[in-house]
Amino acid sequence: MAAVVGMALPVLFGVIVGERPAPIAWVGMVLAIPAVVSLSASNRDSGPVGRAAWLGAIAGGAFALFGILISRTGTDSGMWPLVAARFASVVTLAAGALAWGRPLVAARVHWPLITVAALLDISGNVLFLLAVRRELLSLVAVIMSLYPAATLALARIFFGERLGGRQWLGLMLAAGAVMLIALG
């Protein structure tokens, strides 16, 4: 749900502000919808999906809002929008930790993993900022929303997880979507 909402809202916003992707890119964007749904399909029955769907929609809305706001920054602002976003996320995380009575600093044993995750997150945000400054938000958001493909590939490589038929279909559809968007 997060990937679908995170894709749909920036595309809608892009169209509203005047973005006009090429027709072949639109075909790729439409193909990305079943790709994301297939990529996100579980091999197991995960029980009731009501709460999970709502939480996914909220997360997708947050991804979309971040993408839309970052895309509206000027090139003369450099990387400062990302600094501001990181500051806001740290303040929000600290407020949440305090509200739920959690420690503000993680145990030292977790610092290496936290550092790697932070560096990857920052790298992704920088690449996203550079992409939306060069290309249409609607196109970048669709490609970004295909992130479940990377998650599945990593799970397969590192954990030997078996992929279901729908997930393999999603990988093929995602590859086709990216090719069509790139041709546009």
pLDDT tens-place string over residues 74-108: 999 999 999 999 999 999 999 999 999 999 999 99
Q: What does the alpha-carbon distance between residue 141 and residue 181 come to, in Å, rounded to a whole number?
A: 11
Mean pLDDT computed over 12-17: 96
- For residue 164, the model assigns a pLDDT of 87
Number of structural domains (the chain) is: 1
- For residue 1, the model assigns a pLDDT of 83
The backbone region for 135, taken as left when phi is positive above 0, alpha when psi lies in -120 to 50, beta otherwise, is beta
Q: What does the alpha-carbon distance between residue 6 and residue 128 come to, in Å, rounded to a whole number?
A: 14
Instruction: Please give the structure tokens belonging to residue 139.
Output: 């196109």
Closest CA to 139 of 87, 84, 76, 71: 71
Q: Go through 70-92 and write b for each residue having 16 or more CB atoms within 10 A of its CB, e for each that does not.
A: bbebeeeeeeebbeebeeeeeee
Cα–Cα distances (Å) from 181 to 7, 92, 126, 140, 150, in that order, read: 14, 35, 21, 9, 18
Mean pLDDT computed over 99-121: 94
Length of the chain: 184
Instruction: Please give the structure tokens belonging to residue 136.
Output: 């249409």
Q: pTM of the prediction? A: 0.85
Which residues lie closer than 8 Å to 142 by C-beta, 6 or more apart? 7, 11, 28, 29, 32, 177, 181
Which residues lie closer than 8 Å to 48 by C-beta, 6 or more apart? none
What are the pLDDT digits (tens) for 25-82?
Answer: 999 999 999 999 898 876 565 556 677 888 989 999 999 999 999 999 999 999 999 9
- The domain of 166 spans 2-183
Q: What does the alpha-carbon distance between residue 60 and residue 1 come to, in Å, rounded to a whole number?
A: 7
